[in-house]
């Protein structure tokens, strides 16, 4: 996600989004980053995992509601109906871009963990009154708090506020949490590798979200049900 212009340039100046959706994500995140983060350490997020997992679990009912054919995945037509019902306005191109971005295994259907990532991206991109009303319509006002926690976490990690998290930023964030521990570098690298799934050295918000759903055990729950 994103491309570098030249080896001699810093990532902040050189990194450019590869898609319109990524550009919108970066712009929305930078706008959000101007307000700062309430997260002070990575440990504070880890302690919230159980509560976040519980909130994600409540999304299951929403997922089943929009999975009209009950095949365990939401296709593009079902997603369009979902947005229409929630009265969230996206152009057809935007809906297609969101679907393509969240359908990681490219099977033309979003599974539960992919659907959670999509809802969080919608939260970031549609940070307005209409989106808040949509969340209340699906009966999950606490979902907004959960998604805001995830946005806040990314803001905490992105030290230079360029809309991406680099390896050095991840190391800095982990070091702030486990100061003095020799293993902190290894922990940071492991967490970063889990996020940087396209192995390009920079992590955008979408990649972070996919890693986060694994950290709190969403995929494990899905596998257990299969």
Regarding predicted confidence, which is higher, 200 or 224? Answer: 200
Per-residue pLDDT tens digits for 162-190:
999 999 998 888 877 655 555 567 888 88
| Kind and range of the H or E run holding 165 | strand 165-166
Regarding predicted confidence, which is higher, 113 or 58? Answer: 113
Helices (H), 67-111: 76-86, 92-102
Q: What is the structure's pLDDT at 180? A: 53
Choice among 2-6, 43-47, 64-68, 165-169 with the minimum mean pLDDT:
2-6
Q: How crowded is the C-beta side of 178, counted as CA atoms within 13 Å?
A: 14
Per-residue pLDDT tens digits for 119-132:
899 888 876 555 55
Q: What is the structure's pLDDT at 89? A: 79
Residue the block writes with tokens 């079902």: 78
Per-residue pLDDT tens digits for 195-208:
998 888 999 999 99
Q: What is the structure's pLDDT at 79? A: 92
Is residue 226 very low, low, confident or very high in pLDDT (cuts 50, 70, 90)? very low
Per-residue pLDDT tens digits for 5-28:
333 334 444 467 778 888 999 999
Three-state secondary structure along 37-96? CCCCCHHHHHHHHHHHHHHHHHHHHHHHHHCCCCCCCECHHHHHHHHHHHCCCCCHHHHH
Q: What is the structure's pLDDT at 126? A: 77
């Amino acid at each position: 996600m994103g491309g570098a212009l030249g080896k001699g340039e810093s990532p902040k100046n050189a990194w450019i989004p590869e898609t319109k959706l990524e550009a919108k994500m970066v712009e929305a995140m930078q706008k959000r980053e101007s307000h700062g983060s309430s997260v002070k350490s990575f440990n504070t997020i880890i302690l919230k995992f159980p509560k976040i997992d519980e909130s994600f679990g409540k999304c299951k009912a929403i997922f089943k509601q929009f999975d009209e054919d009950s095949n365990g995945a939401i296709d593009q037509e079902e997603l369009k109906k979902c947005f229409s019902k929630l009265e969230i306005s996206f152009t057809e191109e935007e809906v297609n871009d969101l679907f393509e971005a969240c359908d990681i295994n490219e099977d033309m259907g979003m599974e539960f963990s992919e659907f959670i990532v999509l809802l969080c991206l919608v939260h970031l991109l549609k940070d307005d009154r209409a989106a808040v009303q949509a969340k209340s319509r699906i009966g999950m006002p606490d979902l907004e708090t959960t998604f805001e926690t995830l946005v806040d976490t990314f803001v905490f990690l992105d030290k230079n506020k360029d809309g991406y998290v680099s390896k050095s930023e991840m190391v800095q964030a982990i070091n702030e949490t486990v100061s003095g521990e020799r293993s902190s570098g290894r922990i940071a690298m492991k967490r970063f590798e889990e996020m940087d799934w396209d192995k390009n050295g920079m992590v955008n918000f979408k990649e972070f979200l996919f890693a986060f759903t694994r950290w709190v055990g969403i995929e494990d729950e899905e596998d257990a049900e299969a």
